[in-house]
Amino acid sequence: MNIVTTYAWTGSGYVVPSATAKAGVLAMTRSLAVEWAKYGMRHNAIAPGPFPTKGAWDRLFPKEMSDKINLESRVPLKRVGHHQELANLAAYLMSDFSAYVNGEVVTIDGGEWLQGAGQFNQMDAITQEEWDFLEKIVRSNQKKS
């Protein structure tokens, strides 16, 4: 079992050493999954999103910066992960219940990765009145065709 991150396959600003290392771990995980499967060994990884720890969070996101960097707002579920959720996933992937899972990365981030990946995900800020306005524009253009 390895721990990677979603930016292992995309890269990200401000984390070059981490992204490089995690990309290597991801390639190793998938390579070993194929190479060592014949010995009955499985290799998988977990890509966690924000799971706060006091030491890391206090250093990375001091209270003075909390108004500029709000990780919960980037997660569609509007919360950070609980450590028990991460432990449950790891236990499952290590158990016989996932005996056919090999070479996979399971992302556990409340949808943060997908939120950042979509071109139109910022449209969730559009109000109902704005959606109604957009619908009128679309429907009027359809009538003209």
Tokens, residue 66: 């909390």
d(CA 90, CA 108) in angstroms, rounded, equals 11
Which residues carry out catalysis?
7
d(CA 142, CA 24) in angstroms, rounded, equals 50
Q: Is the dihedral of CA 7, 13, 17, 20 positive or negative?
A: positive
Query: CB–CB of 102/44 below 8 Å?
Result: yes
What 3-state DSSP class applies to 88? helix
